[in-house]
Chains A and B, each alone.
Chain A
Amino acid sequence: MAKAAESSGEPGTTSPRPLMRDLKAVGKKFMHVLYPRKSNTLLRDWDLWGPLILCVTLALMLQRSSVDSEKDGGPQFAEVFVIVWFGAVTITLNSKLLGGNISFFQSLCVLGYCILPLTVAMLVCRLVLLAEQGPINFMVRLFVVIVMFTWSIVASTAFLADSQPPNRKALAIYPVFLFYFVISWMILTFTPQ
């Protein structure tokens, strides 16, 4: 992982342990995703811890609490994992084949971090589902998922669009749209037993 060197010998400060440092880096990137601006932080200091945490959280939340969850046809933990990582790798390969000048891991990092809004949507949906089921419940969830989906797309486009050749931007962004659409669909159709 790329990190800036920290000065450890400064008087009056204790050097933070590596774990805190990593957590701070991850947290900083979360902030960058939530308030997307055209900045290079996500690209320069890429790391894959954030995407891993988000992916595991999302996969865990998409599990059902019932015993016969296998028969229900909902996504298993491994399936969500595979979709997220396989999807991100495919999109990265696609953008590199189209002539983008972003590195493999930088792209994985951006795509993984931009799942954050959808993870928040999943959290909200699970909370909303504790209330009474019905059309209003569904409309609330639909609204939240749509807003977070748009947020994810805007965030990832802000980071990725510049690295593509100008006449192929739409070709590189469309798979990102499809990827987040599928994840949003999985979140929206989640029903607990």
Chain B
Amino acid sequence: MAAVGDLQFEEFGNAAATAAENPGATTISIEGPGESPAHQAGLPRGSGGEEDDELLGNDDSDKTELLAGQKKSSPFWTFEYYQTFFDVDTYQVFDRIKGSLLPIPGKNFVRLYIRSNPDLYGPFWICATLVFAIAISGNLSNFLIHLGEKTYHYVPEFRKVSIAATIIYAYAWLVPLALWGFLMWRNSKVMNIVSYSFLEIVCVYGYSLFIYIPTAVLWIIPQKAVRWILVMIALGVSGSVLAMTFWPAVREDNRRIALATIVTIVLLHTLLSVGCLVWSHSCDLPVCLRYKC
């Protein structure tokens, strides 16, 4: 505790006298009533002046949640601000991908892998890979279906890439935005213990889409039964990651609203996966032989 008191002595000028006398009491008195534990953890670190203003002023929890605590001290128009979203190492990205593939009940993806450090690298490049995987595998499966037919003329169907990209990136950004807005609104009515920042939600959604990459590749197999089993497996894995992540955030709420939220999340996910895969592989009609689908 003496170390905490010393740091506070350096940073908070006028409070220094009382801080030196009884550090513990000062710690409590400086904190406002609604503070989350993140702020107390942030005090000993005490880096930029902006954070100090934030902690002392402790106005809107939205801002602190968006900034996710201690590390973002650059203004948003500098390059360094965006670099903080890419502050991950290779093994961290692999760990997060592994966590999205193996949902363990009771282990929250966000708390376990992301809490300290949401990144934008994973969501962005997983979505990019998924776009190309869906487009290429759709292309390949159409080609294989019509293999051997002399009248079939292979077309690369380049338009599908742009449409797939729009759909997937829109899903990966707009649905987290809507969910985050919804959770913030519920937070103002019901005090929830767990709340996520916008970036953390984007991160969860991004990493949960990873399972669809091998699924899209395996959809080249032309058997209907195999395809639907693969979709069920992928939906099960990523749906359960999402459900287990967001259940703690709505648990304290009205039972019906909580269940409706989780069901909506899973439903939207189903819509995306089934929709994208079926759309990109749907070329069974004879008319597709000469023109793009």
Decide yes or no whether B167 CB sits under 8 A from chain A.
Answer: no
Residues of B within 8 A of A191 (CB): 153-154
Decide yes or no whether B158 CB sits under 8 A from chain A.
Answer: yes
A167 adjacent to B93 (CB under 8 Å): no
Q: How many A-B residue pairs have CB under 8 A?
A: 61
Q: How many residues of A contact B (CB 8 A)?
A: 26
Give A181 to B136 CA distance when docked, in angstroms.
11
Shortest CB-to-CB span from B163 to chain A, Å, is 12
Known: A167-B90, A168-B89. A175 touches B125 (CB 8 A): yes
Residues of B within 8 A of A31 (CB): none
Instruction: List CB contacts (< 8 Å) of A64-84 with chain B.
Output: 71-75, 79
B83 adjacent to A169 (CB under 8 Å): no
Shortest CB-to-CB span from A180 to chain B, Å, is 12
Known: A97-B85, A178-B132. A73 touches B155 (CB 8 A): yes
Give A101 to B261 CA distance when docked, in angstroms.
44
Known: A73-B292, A175-B125. A185 touches B136 (CB 8 A): yes
Residues of B within 8 A of A167 (CB): 89-91
Shortest CB-to-CB span from A175 to chain B, Å, is 6
- With CB as the reference atom, state the residue of chain B lying closest to A70: B292
Decide yes or no whether B159 CB sits under 8 A from chain A.
Answer: yes
Instruction: List CB contacts (< 8 Å) of B106-135 with chain A.
Output: 121, 125, 128-129, 132
Give A191 to B125 CA distance when docked, in angstroms.
29
* Residue in A74, A97, A168 whose CB lies within 8 Å of B90: A168
B83 adjacent to A97 (CB under 8 Å): yes
Residues of A within 8 A of B132 (CB): 178, 181-182, 185
Residues of A within 8 A of B292 (CB): 71-73
* Residue in B91, B128, B153, B156 whose CB lies within 8 Å of A186: B156
Residues of B within 8 A of A97 (CB): 82-83, 85-86, 121
Give A147 to B85 CA distance when docked, in angstroms.
36
Residues of B within 8 A of A186 (CB): 156
Residues of A within 8 A of B136 (CB): 185
Decide yes or no whether A124 CB sits under 8 A from chain B.
Answer: no
Please classify how large the interface on chain B is, using the bins under 10, 10 to 19, 20 to 34, 35 or more. 20 to 34
Instruction: List CB contacts (< 8 Å) of B224-242 with chain A.
Output: none
Decide yes or no whether B77 CB sits under 8 A from chain A.
Answer: no
Instruction: List CB contacts (< 8 Å) of A169-193 with chain B.
Output: 169-171, 174-175, 178, 181-182, 185-186, 189-191
A98 adjacent to B86 (CB under 8 Å): yes
A99 adjacent to B83 (CB under 8 Å): yes
B128 adjacent to A98 (CB under 8 Å): no
Give A167 to B93 CA distance when docked, in angstroms.
11
Give A178 to B88 CA distance when docked, in angstroms.
20
B121 adjacent to A94 (CB under 8 Å): yes
* Residue in A94, A181, A189 whose CB lies within 8 Å of B156: A189
* Residue in B79, B121, B125, B156 whose CB lies within 8 Å of A74: B156
Instruction: List CB contacts (< 8 Å) of B141-192 with chain A.
Output: 153-159
Give A189 to B138 CA distance when docked, in angstroms.
13
Give A190 to B154 CA distance when docked, in angstroms.
9
B88 adjacent to A73 (CB under 8 Å): no
Residues of A within 8 A of B128 (CB): 175, 178
Residues of A within 8 A of B155 (CB): 72-74
A171 adjacent to B291 (CB under 8 Å): no
Instruction: List CB contacts (< 8 Å) of B55-112 with chain A.
Output: 79, 82-83, 85-86, 88-91, 93
B125 adjacent to A174 (CB under 8 Å): yes
- With CB as the reference atom, state the residue of chain B lying closest to A72: B155
Shortest CB-to-CB span from A100 to chain B, Å, is 10
Known: A178-B129, A185-B132, A191-B154. 8 other contacts (CB 8 A): A73-B159, A94-B125, A98-B86, A98-B121, A169-B90, A171-B88, A189-B154, A190-B156
12 A-B residue pairs with CB within 8 Å? A73-B155, A73-B157, A73-B292, A74-B155, A94-B121, A98-B121, A168-B89, A169-B90, A171-B88, A171-B121, A174-B125, A175-B128
Using a CB–CB distance below 8 Å, which chain B residues touch chain A? 79, 82-83, 85-86, 88-91, 93, 121, 125, 128-129, 132, 136, 139, 153-159, 291-292
